[in-house]
Structure 1
Amino acid sequence: MTEERVNLRKRNKEAPVQNGHSQSEEERKPRIPEFAHRESNLTVLLENVGHIRAIYHIFVVILLMLLFDTVVFDLVERGKINVGLSAVAYGFGDVKRGAKIWLYELSCALAFYPAFRFFAAGAQLFKRNTVLQHIWTILGVLGLAAVQLALVLVPVWDLGKKHLAIASSVAVTCEMFRFAMKIHAVVATCGHRCYSGEPLPSFKQYLYFLFAPTLVYRDQYPRTKQIRWGKVVSHFVEVAAIVFYNSFLWERFILPYWSDYGKQPQVEAGTVVRGMFGCVLPGVISFLCGFYCLLHAWLNAFAEMLKFGDRLFYEDWWTMSQFSKYFRAWNRVVHSWLRDYIYMPLAPRAGRALSTLFVFIVSSLAHELILALSFGFFYPVLLIQFGVCGLLMVPLTTISGRRFPNALNLFMWFTFFLGNGILWSLYPMEYFARKNCPPSEDDSFFVPKSWSCPEIVLKPNWTFHNPILII
């Protein structure tokens, strides 16, 4: 094994010069296969490392304590037992309307397949006539654009016209983007087959891809031999538990600070600052729970049901000291799609820097659209955090992260705590300001209402006292 590593290093050092430039370190690394039989990092750690299992148990106990706190407090205070169902029911309100939107999105995704086969048949029919094939290609591009626009614009119009409950809206908008990205992946991967006559994906392959936990299309994926239904049930139980976990966090830590925001014309600055710092810890816990719920439990459940062998949906992002590596490791499912279908086609023409910038813009706008449609207002806090601050951190931590890995990992976690505290403060402030403040002619979807209502003031007779000055 040692001899192989020495030979690999020698080959890397002797790598040929291409186009006047030596190969970059990233290009010299042996490429990890896109799909292979692999378990998720946390699955391996939880099964083999007792320390990680202990941390998992700590989070379970915190959930139980929040449940006991909610039950006992409401029993003593109001004489009724509350297990968080009210917050869950409020978040997933109007499920019937959300289901209709999702079924429409699924119909658009399914309708794409026969249209794709029809285009391929036409491309073969006009193969010997260059002019007709060129016209057919233009019509195909317009048809693809029409399908994608119908898939995106109708849900956006429907959600913009009438607000849907937050959790239901998040679900249908995420599904909208997921289906749109899947369609693009099939076209980008198999589009050339329409002209070459190579076999197109069968409907069974396409249907499998629509629900497989990946956004990168392949005709075949590594498959497991059997479905472990016990694993499926345990993962879905984790998903349900985390939904209640977040509802408890909302009821116990967010509502007490912000539910009355906007009912009074003025609010003291100290109250706002205390609330923002009070939301830091629940914000980070929710951030970690959201990661575990979606990228581990949910995706692993579907991977198990579909016998999808590659479970590497994320890497050990929590150990990173460079933001560029963190963005790649945090969500490999979306990162692989952005890399294969946006970055790599663009990089040879626009260069690496502009291609990276464009990837960040696309990802930031998609995240912001999900939040805007879910909350019912445009407030680009996440857009600034991710698309501006996060992008700036990529070059700033590239060298320093390698030189001072421990310090930069500490700094990265500091930004996670601070950023989530801001997110869990500013969005609820705006949400309740629009709910509690009196209507105004200046109210707008794009202009934050919390900037003008309520007025944030300092305490009367407030003065600054120098802590260094000794009296």
Structure 2
Amino acid sequence: MGKNVVCKCYKKVKQNGKTTHEEEKKEYDEFAIRESPLTTLYDSSLHIRAIYHIFVVILLLLMCDNVIFDLIENGKINMGLSVVAAGFGDIRRAFKLWVYEFFVAMSLYPLLIVYSWIGGISRKYPVLRPMAVRVGIAAFVALELAVAAVPVFDLCRKHLPVGSAAIVTVEMFRFMMKLVAIASACAPRCLNGTTPLPTFKQYIYFMFAPTFLYRDQYPRTKKIRWGVVTFHLLEVAGVIFYNCFLWERFIIPYWSDYGKDKTVEAGVVVRGMFTCVMPGIISWLCGFYCAMHAWLNACSEMLKFGDRLFYEDWWTTSRFSLYYRRWNRVVHSWLRDHIYLPLVPYVGRPLAIFTVFFVSSLTHEVIIALCIGFFYPVLLMEFGVLSVILVPLTETAGRRFPNAFNLLLWLCFFIGNGMLASLYSMEYFARLNCPPSENDSFFIPKSWTCPEVILKPNWTFQNPLRIF
């Protein structure tokens, strides 16, 4: 396939002294042959390469910690494989659910052919056009529900380990978003008959391509560099081990006894939250690198997908609005084209932005809930509420004081990820260790009532400026 660069120019236009937002103001070169920012930085900067090597050394030291400690303590070598095996347990059941999701997603293609035939009839008899549109919408909604219903029901019936559940739920949402994109692109073709439907080869390529925007053609590289594929897949495996070591050594031990006693001192809880800040942020950065760089670059190389700009330099920004546009361009482009832009003419820009944040944060929260087995909307509050507030607050000030607000951005990342790691761990172990109760529910947090958080006995406030 040849190179296809699609440019969309979004501009503000003024009517009667008021600014309307018919289109975004920034140009997007959606698809072109280009590398990921970290690939370019790693190839061109010895400084970035040194930082990469530092993270590799930390991983090696964590592995040595596991091996030497367990060898001395228990007389055996633990490479962390038990944690990975536990996280991806019952993988056969997860694979069966993925196969179900895949075949339901594939069924849209024959439905498009049928809908194209219905569209041909509606062109001959225009009075049938409204009914054809309603039939198409109803069939598509039913298909989306079919993709989600069986995996959600199965996970609620019998919980899968976190890693296996993550594969099922993330793939479920990935297929649902892909179906929205291809239905939006092909439904008008079925009704108008001016442009032919994509071939099955184009359809299945899109299902695996690292993008949520459908095009008949994408820029392609000339060959597959299997060395690059192997390197990135090894990085994926390394990051999985990395995160397992971080959680096993620094987060889980602190909270594993939470709920065994009826009371816990508030100082212990606060200290635990700050203890989880460093492993929490490192785990998040490793997760970003694994998903957005290593995995997507490996997939792109195998598919000869030329556009590797899955993210931009979000780490240098001083505005939350830029961060959310840059850190995941794959999802951001889908949210922009299928939620934000369709809503703007009807509800205005502020409500459209809030809807995007709400849908995205709720989706993330549902994925976490299905993975860990309970609904505890910490991420929903951080992402869907606090982030919405920070976007306008940092918009103007971030331009005037970029260094200070980049510092603020990273401070929020550190505190936010420490809170996420702590609160989800507290809830998980409270449900595991606390006695069963008739009030136990998938939606009601147990860590709020068990254990009881108390102040230290005989605690009194003392003047911090008093020396003697």
State the TM-score, normalizing by the size of structure 1: 0.94
- Name the counterpart of 1:285: 282
Structure 1 residue 67, shift from structure 2 partner: 0.3
Structure 1 residue 87, shift from structure 2 partner: 0.9
Inter-partner Cα distance in structure 2 for 1:382 and 1:272:
19
- Name the counterpart of 2:352: 355
Inter-partner Cα distance in structure 2 for 1:178 and 1:370:
11
- Name the counterpart of 1:428: 425
Task: Work out the percentage of aligned pairs sharing the same amino acid.
Answer: 62
Inter-partner Cα distance in structure 2 for 1:365 and 1:306:
31
Aligned with 1:119 (options 115, 121, 137): 115
Inter-partner Cα distance in structure 2 for 1:346 and 1:161:
36
Kindly provide the amino acid, as one letter, of the partner of residue 245 in structure 1. Y
Inter-partner Cα distance in structure 2 for 1:23 and 1:357:
17
Inter-partner Cα distance in structure 2 for 1:245 and 1:363:
27
Inter-partner Cα distance in structure 2 for 1:158 and 1:184:
24
Structure 1 residue 18, shift from structure 2 partner: 5.4
SS at match of 2:29: coil
Kindly provide the amino acid, as one letter, of the partner of residue 425 in structure 1. S
Alignment of 1:320 onto 2:317: yes
- Name the counterpart of 1:219: 216
- Name the counterpart of 2:402: 405
Alignment of 1:85 onto 2:70: no
Residues 1:377 and 1:16: Cα distance change in structure 2 (over 3 Å): closer
Structure 1 residue 23, shift from structure 2 partner: 8.7
- Name the counterpart of 2:3: none
Aligned with 2:196 (options 180, 186, 199): 199
Inter-partner Cα distance in structure 2 for 1:76 and 1:187:
59
Kindly provide the amino acid, as one letter, of the partner of residue 386 in structure 1. F
Kindly provide the amino acid, as one letter, of the partner of residue 109 in structure 2. Y
Structure 1 residue 190, shift from structure 2 partner: 2.0
Cα deviation code 1:295-354 (max 9, x no counterpart): 000000000000000000000000010000000001000000000111111111111111
Moved more, 338-347 or 452-461: 452-461
- Name the counterpart of 1:41: 37
Kindly provide the amino acid, as one letter, of the partner of residue 398 in structure 1. E
Inter-partner Cα distance in structure 2 for 1:158 and 1:346:
34
Moved more, 258-267 or 423-432: 258-267
Alignment of 1:156 onto 2:152: yes
- Name the counterpart of 2:255: 258
Contact residue 123 and residue 192 of structure 2 kept, 8 A: no
Which segments of structure 1 move beyond 4 Å, counting only runs of 4 or more? 15-24, 26-29
Inter-partner Cα distance in structure 2 for 1:140 and 1:310:
32
- Name the counterpart of 1:102: 98
- Name the counterpart of 2:7: none
- Name the counterpart of 2:4: none
- Name the counterpart of 2:182: 186
Structure 1 residue 467, shift from structure 2 partner: 1.0
Aligned with 2:230 (options 229, 233, 236): 233
Cα deviation code 1:189-248 (max 9, x no counterpart): 221111221111111001000000000000000000000000000000000000000010
Alignment of 1:468 onto 2:461: no
- Name the counterpart of 1:298: 295
- Name the counterpart of 1:146: 142
Moved more, 119-128 or 373-382: 119-128
Inter-partner Cα distance in structure 2 for 1:315 and 1:19:
37
Inter-partner Cα distance in structure 2 for 1:438 and 1:319:
47
Moved more, 155-164 or 242-251: 155-164
Structure 2 residues not aligned, in runs of 5+: 1-9
- Name the counterpart of 1:168: 164
Aligned with 2:51 (options 51, 55, 79): 55
The number of residue pairs the alignment matches comes to 457
Inter-partner Cα distance in structure 1 for 2:86 and 2:269:
25
Inter-partner Cα distance in structure 1 for 2:214 and 2:33:
17
Kindly provide the amino acid, as one letter, of the partner of residue 184 in structure 2. A
Kindly provide the amino acid, as one letter, of the partner of residue 170 in structure 1. A
Inter-partner Cα distance in structure 2 for 1:192 and 1:48:
45
Cα deviation code 1:53-95 (max 9, x no counterpart): 0000000000000000111111111111111111111111110
Inter-partner Cα distance in structure 1 for 2:192 and 2:135:
18
- Name the counterpart of 1:136: 132
- Alpha-carbon RMSD across the aligned residues, in angstroms, is 1.7
Contact residue 317 and residue 406 of structure 2 kept, 8 A: yes
Kindly provide the amino acid, as one letter, of the partner of residue 389 in structure 1. L
- Name the counterpart of 1:442: 439
- Name the counterpart of 2:335: 338
SS at match of 1:191: helix
Kindly provide the amino acid, as one letter, of the partner of residue 296 in structure 2. L
Structure 1 residue 103, shift from structure 2 partner: 0.6
Alignment of 1:380 onto 2:366: no
Kindly provide the amino acid, as one letter, of the partner of residue 371 in structure 1. I
Structure 1 residue 134, shift from structure 2 partner: 2.2
Alignment of 1:75 onto 2:71: yes
SS at match of 1:134: helix
Inter-partner Cα distance in structure 2 for 1:32 and 1:222:
15
State the TM-score, normalizing by the size of structure 2: 0.95
Kindly provide the amino acid, as one letter, of the partner of residue 139 in structure 1. V
Inter-partner Cα distance in structure 2 for 1:69 and 1:364:
36
- Name the counterpart of 1:369: 366
- Name the counterpart of 2:453: 456
Cα deviation code 1:109-162 (max 9, x no counterpart): 001110111111111123121232322221111111110001112211111111
Inter-partner Cα distance in structure 2 for 1:135 and 1:379:
42
Inter-partner Cα distance in structure 1 for 2:192 and 2:30:
25
SS at match of 1:416: helix
Kindly provide the amino acid, as one letter, of the partner of residue 383 in structure 1. L
Alignment of 1:271 onto 2:268: yes
- Name the counterpart of 1:391: 388
Residues 1:368 and 1:461: Cα distance change in structure 2 (over 3 Å): same
